[in-house]
Structure 1
Amino acid sequence: MSNDIQKAIFSRNLNYFLQLNRKSQKEVADTLGISLSTFNSWCTGAKIPRMDKIQKLADYFGIKKSDLIDDKTDSQTQGYYINEETRKIAQEIYENPALRILFDASRDAKPEDLLYVADLIKRLKAKENHLD
């Protein structure tokens, strides 16, 4: 695969995760200690970062490096979750910092399973807070 194709794939994936997480280039660049011009060159496909920076981006978004460097066009257009209700619940869980651990749930999880586990964690957290 040519370097230009790799840059284009990385750029498309990075922009996808920026949009998915409602993050600006500046916000992510500032958080990771990367200059905005460098980050922008990744987003436009002019350059591709070194693996250590790709790992930082993957950690920031809570994804695997392969999610940034592999061509995943089909899975991105279809969405990660098969069930729409599960997708909505997962988004709510993702937006709640105390529940983000659940974001690793399987894409074919049933909505009621996600709700059950989220409720269980909320109860455990409430119990833990009352013990302090």
Structure 2
Amino acid sequence: MTDNSEMNKKIFAKNFNYYLAINNKTQADIVSDLKITASTVSDWANAKKYPRVDKMQMLADYFGILKSDLTEEHATSKLTDDVELQEYLEELKNRSEMRMLFSLAKGATKEDVEKAVRIIEALQKDE
């Protein structure tokens, strides 16, 4: 295999794992929801295989993104920020008043979510 092919697998795996995380999905969810074998999903997540075009489109549709979001390299800082965002969302997800954030968090930065939390908390204090 060419270095380019290996690089493409790594870029896809990084993006695939990122979209799993920000959508609060697991590899098992992909297996169940999209009827793809667990070994295939694992191979994608671990940069062992690259999906066929039809599977790539299926994943893009599933996450509500473009195929290019899965195949193109993105700024590392964005991915780092989003790991922090995922950790922050994990802390919030059990707070009922914060549940509406999960529909808004897609594509948001950690700062965006923190701002929304401050607004919601301020509104609750006014009640």
Q: Normalization by structure 2: what TM-score?
A: 0.62
2-structure distance, mates of 1:105, 1:16:
11
Alignment pair present for 1:27 and 2:22: no
How high is the sequence identity, in percent, across the aligned residues?
37
Which structure 2 segments of 5+ residues have no match?
83-97, 120-127
Q: Normalization by structure 1: what TM-score?
A: 0.60
- Aligned in 2, Cα 1:62/1:5: closer, same or farther, shift over 3 Å? same
Q: What are the Cα deviations for residues 64-119 of structure 1, in whole angstroms up to 9, with x where unaligned?
A: 1111111113332244xxxxxxxxxxx95563xxxx5x778898x9x78xx9xxxx
2:78 corresponds, among 75, 79, 102, to 75
What amino acid sits opposite 2:72 in the alignment? Answer: D
Name 1:37's counterpart in structure 2. Answer: 39
**In the TM superposition, what is the alpha-carbon distance from 1:30 to its structure 2 partner?**
1.5
SS of the counterpart of 1:18?
A: helix
- Alignment RMSD: 3.5
2-structure distance, mates of 1:105, 1:71:
16
Name 2:59's counterpart in structure 1. Answer: 57
2-structure distance, mates of 1:40, 1:106:
27
Structure 1 segments, 4+ long, off by >6 Å, are 102-107
2-structure distance, mates of 1:30, 1:10:
21
Which structure 1 segments of 5+ residues have no match?
80-90, 116-132
